[in-house]
Amino acid sequence: MKQRCINCCLSCVLAVLALCLCSARATAQGNQTTPRTADGHPDLSGLWIGRAGANFVPSDDPLAANLASRDATLLNFERDNAIMRRADPNKPLYKPEFWEKVQKLDQNGNTEDPSFGCMPGGVPRMGPPAKIVQTPKELIFLYVSPAAGGWGDTYRVIPTDGRSHTPLDDLDGTWKGESLGHWEGDTLVIDTIGFNDTSWLDITGYFHGENMHVIERMHRDGDTLTWQATVEDPDVLIKSWTMNARTLKRNPDPKAVLAESLPCVERDLSHLVTKEHH
Amino acid sequence: MHCGTRSLLAVAGLLMAGMAAWAHHSVQAEFDLNKPITLTGVVTKVEWINPHSYLYLDVKDDSGNLKHWAFEMAGPGALRRAGLSRADRGGLKSGDTITVNAVLAKDGTDSGLIKDVTLPDGRKFTIWTSDPNAR
């Protein structure tokens, strides 16, 4: 009898616990507005730029915040921006033999940065996409140039069908590499190899090697999409580098479209007379 | 004054935000912000390109010699936000006489960065302001 009472109490406790859990889950689901596809994954489809019908893609880069300029001068604005970027404690840690190279590239960024001359940004510098089309077996990422960005309209096709990477030696090194996606819970994980060593990771001289491995993670919460990339490059880095996360807002206008980027033709670099840059 | 303060500030903000976001070349690495110039001339070509659009102007100097000037300019989106509509951009077509306020390039070439343009009908459009806080 005593044992039955204990069992009964246990059952009650478990029932209450289960009820609480169910209630919590229901509450969470009630707040959760992330749509899902038929296969149960979060639906990342949509236009992930901030304003309806605009062809300007607002930056969500925390280091591209609109700084107040000291004395309201453009000179201070540019210089403060440069300092802010380099003061970011989240830096890739290069092996000591590459420290001088990174500094030289940064100091001579006006002529060394491939993106200044209309070359692509490449993965991961190109950041999160402006538009995502999600299908059961692949994701289509569409990119446009940010403001005066030179890389123009570009795309990525990312299989999520469970295939394996092509052996690295069989891949031609490219700007975007070979990307494969898979789901870890509700997070989309994109694994990319097969790069050239021409692109940079950021404006500050952060070069990389051909054996770079990039892991991007994307997670949707309602109308917010978070993107974060981790760079592994044991040839040049002491340890992997996780870049600052970027957060995008879904464009609420169903009629909003991606604007066509202007073609990129560099006219300025031959006129630069100082090494100053952002 | 067709271009209101609001659009002017918006453009300034967008230009600055764009610069910070993408950060193409530094403005002061190429242009001298303390050397303003006002020129009136005939548009010979407009290039709608990234990273910066370009406007070419034939200008007669004090000696009557024709000089070919090249000016860095904002893209069509920024011009539209400055109040310069697609129809208005006809005002920038080849053959039109316009007046530009700009800052000079540091390398001594006949080039600069446009701050505003005045169309043949007198309407003035501010494309760029040197005050980054004006947004």
Domain ranges of chain A: 46-58+94-253
Residues of B with CB below 8 A from A118's CB? 50-51
A150 chain-B contacts, CB cut-off 8 A = 24, 50-51
Q: Per mean pLDDT, which of A182-186, A267-271, B2-6, B7-11 is the most reliable? A: A182-186
Distance from the Cα of A121 to chain B's closest Cα (Å) equals 10
Residues A148, B13: C-beta atoms closer than 8 Å: no
In angstroms, rounded to a whole number, what is the distance separating the alpha carbons of residues A45 and A39? 14
Comparison of pLDDT for B30 and A29, the residue scoring more: B30
Question: A-contacting residues of B 80-119, CB under 8 Å?
Answer: 105-107, 109, 111
In whole angstroms, what is the distance from residue A231 CA to residue A14 CA? 45
Residue environment code for A56-72, b if the CB has 16+ CB neighbours within 10 A, otherwise e = bbbbbbebbebbebeee
Name which of A89-103, A143-157, A206-220, A223-237 the model is least confident about.
A143-157
Nearest to A155 by CA among A185, A203, A120, A189: A120
Distance from CA of A208 to the nearest CA of B (A): 20
Q: How far is CA B48 from CA B26, B53, B75, B77, in A?
A: 20, 5, 6, 10
Question: With bands split at pLDDT 50, 70 and 90, how would you rate the model's confidence at A105?
Answer: very high
* Contact criterion met (CB < 8 Å) for B25 and A272: yes
pLDDT confidence of residue B86:
66
Say if residue B83 is exposed, middle or buried (CB neighbours under 10 Å; 0-12, 13-18, 19+): buried
How far does B103 lie from chain A, in Å, by closest CA?
13
B28 CB neighbours in chain A (<8 A) are 74-75, 78, 274, 276
Which tokens in the block code for residue B75?
A: 């893209």
- Supply the pLDDT for residue B131: 53
Mutate to test the interface with B, among A118, A154, A273 (most CBs of B within 10 A): A273
A50 versus A189: the higher-pLDDT residue is: A189
Which residue in chain A has the smallest CA separation from B70?
Answer: A267
The nearest CA of chain A is from the CA of B68 a distance in Å of 15
Q: Is A165 helix (H, G, I), strand (E, B) or coil?
A: coil
Topology at the third CATH level for domain B5-126: OB fold (Dihydrolipoamide Acetyltransferase, E2P) (2.40.50)
Q: Would you give the DSSP letter of residue A252?
A: -
CA A20, CA A7: separation in Å to the nearest integer? 20
Q: Which two tokens stand for residue A264?
A: 């990129």
Enumerate the residues of chain B whose CB falls inside 8 A of the CB of residue A278: 19-20, 23, 26
Whether A198 shows a pLDDT value over 50: the answer reads: yes
Chain A: closest CA distance from residue B77 (Å): 7
What average pLDDT does range A98-121 have in this prediction? 91
Q: What is the mean pLDDT of residues B2-17?
A: 37
Burial label for B18, CB within 10 Å (0-12, 13-18, 19+), is buried
Nearest to B50 by CA among A44, A97, A252, A117: A117
Among A268, A274, A276, the residue to mutate for chain B (most B Cβ within 10 A):
A268
CA distances from A267 to A157, B55, B71, B72, B114 (A): 32, 11, 10, 9, 15
How many C-beta neighbours within 10 Å does residue B98 have?
Answer: 17
CB contact under 8 A, B131 and A267: no
Q: Which amino acid is at A273?
A: V
pLDDT (average), residues A163-180: 97
Q: Is B56 on the interface with A (CB under 8 A)?
A: no
Candidate from A101-115, B10-24, B77-91, B95-109 with smallest mean pLDDT: B10-24
Q: Of A121-135, B7-21, B90-104, which has the strongest mean pLDDT?
A: A121-135
DSSP assignment of A16-78: HHHHHHHHHHHHHHHH----B-TTSSB---EE-SSSTT-S------GGG--PPPGGG-HHHHH
B75 touches chain A (CB under 8 A): yes
Choose between A116 and A36: higher pLDDT. Answer: A36
Least confident range from A176-180, A244-248, A259-263: namely: A259-263
Chain A residues whose beta carbon lies within 8 Å of the beta carbon of residue B135: 66
Domain locations along chain B:
5-126
Distance from CA of B120 to the nearest CA of A (A): 27
Task: Give the pLDDT confidence score for residue A23 in this predicted structure.
Answer: 41
For residue A68, pLDDT beyond 90:
no
What does the alpha-carbon distance between residue B133 and residue A67 come to, in Å, rounded to a whole number?
8
User: What CATH architecture does domain A46-58+94-253 belong to?
Assistant: Beta Barrel (2.40)
Interface of B with A in 7-26 (CB under 8 A): 13-26
Structure-derived torsion over alpha carbons of residues B39, B48, B15, B40, reported in degrees to the nearest 10? 10
Model-level ipTM above the cut of 0.90? no
